[in-house]
Each structure stands twice: as structure tokens, then as C-alpha cells.
Amino acid sequence: MNRKMRDMMAQAQKMQSGMVRAQEELAAATVEGTSGGGMVTAVVNGQGELQGIRISPDAVDPSDVEMLEDLVLAAVQDAVGKSRELAHEKMQGLGIPSGLGDLF
């Protein structure tokens, strides 16, 4: 095997190792999304999985359940967006082209 091929294989192994490490870090990382001025908070890990929701008692109005549903949805969407940004930053740090990092 020539030197160029060995270098290329070593670089691929290094990138694979970096991706495994980044995926582990993303699984352990959490981000929070909020809505309603912090009345609803959604916690999502770096892999986009919902970990929890906190709802302020002030957000609970039995006569307006629809508003609470909207606040929960907005908080989850905010948290998932932040999770995607975090994953994108991790993958860019590994030199993975934009778009490919979204696969992980």
C-alpha cells in the first residue's frame, strides 16, 4: 500500500473516531428552548431527543388549553432547532461538509 493511501486511511479513521466522540458528546449535551417568556421550557439532547418539559403554573389556564399547547410546541421547536445547531457545529468542527453532519 502506498504512502498516500495509508495517509488517507489514517485520516478516515481519525474522522470516524472524531464522529463517534462527537455523537457521544451530543447524546450527553442538553439544550433548552423556551416560549412565553420562559413559561414553558423544553429540554432536548444534542441528538434532538426530547428529555423533559417544564411548565410554569402561570401558564396553566383551564379555559385556554390551546394557548398552553402552542407554548409547548413553540418551546419544543426552539429546543430542537438549538439541538440541530449544536450538532451542526460539532460536525463542522470535524471538517464534515455541511449537510452530511445532519445525517448524524
pLDDT (tens digit per residue) in 37-74: 999 999 999 989 999 999 999 999 999 999 999 999 99
| Upper half-sphere CA count for residue 54 (Cβ side, 13 Å) | 11
Residue of higher predicted confidence among 19 and 58: 58
Mind listing the pLDDT tens digit for each residue in 66-83?
999 999 999 999 999 999
**pTM score, two decimals?**
0.74
Domains identified in the chain, total number:
1
Range of the domain at 92: 3-103
Residue 12: CATH number of its domain: 3.30.1310.10
Q: Closest Cα to residue 24, out of 97, 104, 103, 92?
A: 104
Residues 6 or more apart whose CB falls under 8 angstroms from that of 61 comprise 67, 68
